[in-house]
Homo-oligomer: A and B are copies of this chain.
């Protein structure tokens, strides 16, 4: 049995990943849990606080699963693809940071900073796993390309309502 905070975070993540930050209200969230919007403010003083908690939790979960997956598989890039694919197919939603990253300066700055940190960590993680025989600049370039493709592929697959679009675009990274 999860706590109210966890349920709130789960619900908020689900709704924001589906419709965006501005399309989700405290009242919606509260109603989904059968409580009142004032109770959501009890846990998160401002909407911004909820957003930040959400991105932090998302990042922790993401890298935790990624590290685990990378140990199982011998190909780190395949691990990244698997984690992204699972994020998409298990819920038919794009990445939380993909959504918030798109909304750019429409969301509080503290929140977009947190989102940027997620992307940077994602790029660094991938760059670190590439062969050391490749230059630092080239590793960075390839890592950026991978993250860009995966994020774009999630959005594209969701818009075109076809997860296979993600698979095809993502698998192109493995060549």
Q: Which residues of A contact B (CB under 8 A)?
A: 18-23, 93-94, 97-99, 101-106, 112, 115-116, 119-120, 140-142, 144-145, 147-153, 155-156, 158-161, 165, 168-169, 171-172
Contacts and interface: CB of A to CB of B under 8 A. Distances in A.
A13 to B, nearest CB: 14
A115 B155 CA distance: 11
A47 to B, nearest CB: 13
A160 B112 CA distance: 9
A102 B20 CA distance: 8
A119 to B, nearest CB: 6
Given A145-B169, A152-B155, A153-B148, A160 B119 contact: yes
Contacts of A116: 159-161
When all copies of this chain in the complex are counted, the total is 2
* A-side interface mostly: helix
A143 to B, nearest CB: 9
B142 A19 contact: no
A156 B119 contact: yes
Given A102-B102, A104-B94, A145 B172 contact: yes
A20 B101 contact: no
A101 to B, nearest CB: 4
Contacts of A19: 103-106
Contacts of A101: 155-156, 158-159
Contacts of A115: 159
